[in-house]
Structure 1
Amino acid sequence: MGLRSKLGLIFVLVSSLAILVLCVAVYGQAQRSREDRIRGFADERIRSAAETYDLNDVLLFGSRLDDPDLPPQLRDSVLSGKRATFRTGSPNAKMWAAVGVKDGQILSIAQDYDVKDPSMTALRRALIIGGIGTVGLVVLASVVAAGSLSRRIVAVAGTARRIAAGDLDASAAAAAGKGHDEVQALATALDTMASSLRGQLEAERRFTADVAHDLRTPVTGLLTAAELLPPGRPSELVRDRAKVLRRLVEDLLEIARFDSGVEQADLEHVGLGAFVGSAVGRLRMQQSLAPDSVVVHRVGREETISTDSRRIERILANLIVNGLRHGKPPIEVTVNGRTIEVVDHGNGYPEELIAEGPRRFRSGMAERGVGHGLGLTIAAGHAKVLGAELTFGTALSGGACARLVLPESP
């Protein structure tokens, strides 16, 4: 049940209860007022009848002496020296009035007390119709009020999802509309959080770009100096670590370009199946891979799309290298229409990566090896530039499965 339905139901229940209590109170008060009027009328008649009887021995208004049907409660009150009234219950309800007269006798008058009084029936009908009408108006007003509140909360939730998707310039306060209530306070807090997050991300982006840029020159000099070292195992280790450091710096620079939002795709028409086959062939040569370490499968007809082939090759290379480094060969690359799947036969991606996507400097589970976690981050960055969808999951065989779905139009 949504917030609108819950609020509407609460309003209806509370208002219905309040109207019911009010109607019962009004009807009860009307009943008491009617009884008081009849009781006062009976008391006035018995007083007049007693005065006339004491003076002239004449019975007025149908009064009777020592009526055997006189209620015992009323008889006791009169014998104690009081003039009293008493109403008997249904059926045949009557309003009795009695008083003591001369010679110790009791003079009494009894008149019918009509429980089904037309005026009370009309009042009851009016209260029921008015109560139902009021509940209907309350329902309408509650639906409008709850709908307005629900729309504002849904708008704030939509803005929160946009912020979570990366649109840190989205304003929750603007989506919540004008007001000074709790929804506006929540929206303001959300905007404050987004502003703080935006500042942190900008500081992180600048730090990454500055560090990578400042390291580029000394790393290049280090690599040049390493090439001048005499042959030997120590020299090979130094040159290998220097190359790793250079790749790290290049990756950081590439991530900094993604963070700045300046990357754009160079579009060209590409036959996807043939291109993936040639790209995997080039990767085998560059990485000196065995022919059976990476296998390409083409399913269905060849699809020609407009995309950036360089970025697709970069995504493929990062996914395949990640599979070879952290999984087990063979790496199976399947092209089906506009979809490319890269599957290894290792232990699979960690649940955290599948749920949240890749993060820089997080290499995943220990059993998948060590690393800086930048390869998948860069692949996701290129996919975003292409407008493609890159998701990570588990293959049917249990290994890691990365699926790249390219858009129909760039």
Structure 2
Amino acid sequence: MDPAPPPGDTGRSLWRLADPRSLRWKIAAGVAAAACAMALGIGLLVHRTTETRSMNIGRADALRELDAAKAEFSGARPSSSPQPGYRTGDEVPGHLLDLLAAGPAPVTWYDTSKPAHGPSMWAATEVDGTPIAVSVNMISDLYSRQALDRHMRYAALATLAAVVPLTLLAAELVVRRLRQVAGTARRIRHGDLDARTTGRGHDEISEISSAVNHMADALQGRLHTEQRFTADVAHELRTPLAGLVTSATLLPESEATDLVRDRVKVLHALVDDLLEISRLDAGAERAELQPVPLDELVEESVRRTGLAPRIAATGHPVVETDPRRLDRIVTNLVVNAHVHGGPPVEITVEDATVAVRDHGPGFPAELLAEGPQRFRTGATERGHGHGLGLTIAAGHAQVIGARLTLANDDTGAVVTLDLRPGQP
């Protein structure tokens, strides 16, 4: 399981910065790997080139010394000339003798068999059938090449120390734009269909931003179409429904009449709910705030439902809210708990919050994730309905500036209405 980021804006920012799974670290790792590969390739190239050049210089020096030794050996140089320091006969190393026997003279050999004395470059040939060889000490050249390798490693480390932070800074610009797109997508997911991402440039991230914006436009268009359809249907049904209600009252009393009147009453309530939702969707509803004794209003709202839930109030809290809309919210929550939940239904009033709890199967995961939606009742185990009660309650909660939260606990479903000021 992936570790969760710590709470708080600062903690989340530090977590994103240090999270090795983030895109910025993947980009930095890729650039660092590319820089290491480049440094390794350049280092090997410089090392081999320098080594080849050193071997060529060493061979040239050894052959020059060998020419001097041949002249001395054959008596071509004056006896007063410095001794070239050559070896002849059995003094010549065996590997050089093998090389002389195998190939044309002169031959050279880079000797590393004596680490304590350092490497040497040998050159050998035959003069009148006698092998003669000279050596040139290569220790200073070896030290120079080792120093060059060491300096290249230091330069590579210094380059990495500069490249990685610069890459992180450059990647942050890309990650920040992607984070803005993700934030816009989350806002759209939570219902803010006016959220848009400002695109800059013509790169791939701008294409993603444009796609998210077009998606939001399409969703907003579909939602407005659905809202207009709901409002049109509700208004068109008002006139024939009024005639149907009047006709139902004129029917003679019978069991069938009672059934018709009951169905007409349900249809009338459905149309009223649709009209109420259409008004909430239009965004024209305004709250009429006034001081309201919360415990008394809840008790009165429950009494009018004709139901008998358990009510537990702590103190006598007074809240600044719209009593008509609050009554509608409480009524819908209590009826929803009785119809779709399981007994007993408990109502808790404390400070500026109202919690309605039932002992049924709880809310389905889809409803908890996406919130109340019209004509979507979630799971069949919570009964059948139109999905309008919670939708209307959530709409009125938004109008009065309250927060409606749906959750499940060990006993069943819990709906909490938070009336404290400043709720999102």
TM superposition score normalised by structure 2: 0.87
Matching of residue 88 in structure 1 with residue 111 in structure 2: yes
Matching of residue 297 in structure 1 with residue 317 in structure 2: no
- Counterpart of 2:355 in structure 1: which amino acid? E
Q: What secondary structure, in the 3-state scheme, does the structure 2 residue paired with 1:4 have?
A: helix
Question: Which of 266, 270, 273 pairs up with 1:248?
Answer: 270
Residue segments in structure 2 that go unaligned for 5+ positions in a row:
1-18
Deviation at residue 107 of structure 1 after TM alignment? 2.1
For 1:308, the equivalent position in structure 2 comes to 322
Distance of 2:126 and 2:85 partners within structure 1: 12
- Counterpart of 1:97 in structure 2: which amino acid? A
Distance of 1:31 and 1:235 partners within structure 2: 109
Asked if the contact 1:65–1:105 (Cα under 8 Å) also holds between the matched residues in 2, the reply is: no
Question: Which of 303, 308, 326 pairs up with 1:281?
Answer: 303
Matching of residue 387 in structure 1 with residue 407 in structure 2: no
Question: Which of 374, 378, 391 pairs up with 2:388?
Answer: 374
Distance of 1:213 and 1:82 partners within structure 2: 112
Between 198-207 and 302-311, the greater mean CA deviation after superposition: 302-311
Distance of 1:128 and 1:258 partners within structure 2: 69
Mark the CA change 1:20 to 1:52 in structure 2 (over 3 Å): closer, same or farther: same
Deviation at residue 149 of structure 1 after TM alignment? 1.4
Deviation at residue 55 of structure 1 after TM alignment? 6.4
For 2:92, the equivalent position in structure 1 comes to 70
Asked if the contact 1:7–1:146 (Cα under 8 Å) also holds between the matched residues in 2, the reply is: yes
Residue segments in structure 1 that go unaligned for 5+ positions in a row:
none
Counterparts of 1:153-302 in structure 2 under 5 Å?
A: 153-172=178-197, 174=198, 177-284=199-306, 289=307, 293-299=308-314, 301-302=315-316
Between 257-266 and 6-15, the greater mean CA deviation after superposition: 6-15
Asked if the contact 1:343–1:395 (Cα under 8 Å) also holds between the matched residues in 2, the reply is: no
For 1:9, the equivalent position in structure 2 comes to 29
Distance of 1:347 and 1:375 partners within structure 2: 18
Q: What secondary structure, in the 3-state scheme, does the structure 2 residue paired with 1:262 have?
A: coil
The CA deviation string for residues 354-380 of structure 1, in whole angstroms up to 9 with x for no partner, is: 332222112333333211111111111
Mark the CA change 1:18 to 1:61 in structure 2 (over 3 Å): closer, same or farther: farther
Asked if the contact 1:45–1:61 (Cα under 8 Å) also holds between the matched residues in 2, the reply is: no
Counterparts of 1:84-163 in structure 2 under 5 Å?
A: 84-89=107-112, 90-91=114-115, 92=117, 93-102=119-128, 104-114=129-139, 117-163=142-188
Distance of 1:135 and 1:48 partners within structure 2: 50
Please provide the CA RMSD for this pair: 2.3
Matching of residue 401 in structure 1 with residue 414 in structure 2: yes
Between 27-36 and 109-118, the greater mean CA deviation after superposition: 109-118
Between 350-359 and 254-263, the greater mean CA deviation after superposition: 350-359
Deviation at residue 191 of structure 1 after TM alignment? 1.2
Asked if the contact 2:309–2:345 (Cα under 8 Å) also holds between the matched residues in 1, the reply is: yes
TM superposition score normalised by structure 1: 0.89
- Counterpart of 1:353 in structure 2: which amino acid? L
Asked if the contact 1:326–1:369 (Cα under 8 Å) also holds between the matched residues in 2, the reply is: yes
Asked if the contact 1:305–1:408 (Cα under 8 Å) also holds between the matched residues in 2, the reply is: no
Mark the CA change 1:131 to 1:348 in structure 2 (over 3 Å): closer, same or farther: closer
Mark the CA change 1:109 to 1:384 in structure 2 (over 3 Å): closer, same or farther: same
Distance of 1:162 and 1:338 partners within structure 2: 27
Mark the CA change 1:270 to 1:113 in structure 2 (over 3 Å): closer, same or farther: same
Asked if the contact 2:61–2:136 (Cα under 8 Å) also holds between the matched residues in 1, the reply is: no
Distance of 1:319 and 1:111 partners within structure 2: 99
Deviation at residue 197 of structure 1 after TM alignment? 0.8
Mark the CA change 1:65 to 1:332 in structure 2 (over 3 Å): closer, same or farther: closer
Mark the CA change 1:97 to 1:226 in structure 2 (over 3 Å): closer, same or farther: same
Mark the CA change 1:126 to 1:328 in structure 2 (over 3 Å): closer, same or farther: closer
Distance of 1:326 and 1:231 partners within structure 2: 32
Distance of 2:76 and 2:362 partners within structure 1: 116
Distance of 2:36 and 2:87 partners within structure 1: 52
Between 118-127 and 39-48, the greater mean CA deviation after superposition: 118-127
Distance of 2:196 and 2:323 partners within structure 1: 36
Deviation at residue 20 of structure 1 after TM alignment? 3.2
- Counterpart of 2:285 in structure 1: which amino acid? E
Alignment length (residue pairs): 397
Mark the CA change 1:61 to 1:192 in structure 2 (over 3 Å): closer, same or farther: farther
- Counterpart of 1:40 in structure 2: which amino acid? A
Mark the CA change 1:307 to 1:111 in structure 2 (over 3 Å): closer, same or farther: same
Distance of 2:75 and 2:290 partners within structure 1: 126
Distance of 2:361 and 2:120 partners within structure 1: 93
Distance of 2:100 and 2:152 partners within structure 1: 39
The CA deviation string for residues 336-390 of structure 1, in whole angstroms up to 9 with x for no partner, is: 1111011223332223223322221123333332111111111111112222221
Deviation at residue 217 of structure 1 after TM alignment? 0.9
The CA deviation string for residues 184-229 of structure 1, in whole angstroms up to 9 with x for no partner, is: 2222211121111111111111111111111111111111111111
Between 208-217 and 343-352, the greater mean CA deviation after superposition: 343-352
Distance of 2:147 and 2:94 partners within structure 1: 35
Q: What secondary structure, in the 3-state scheme, does the structure 1 residue paired with 2:360 have?
A: coil
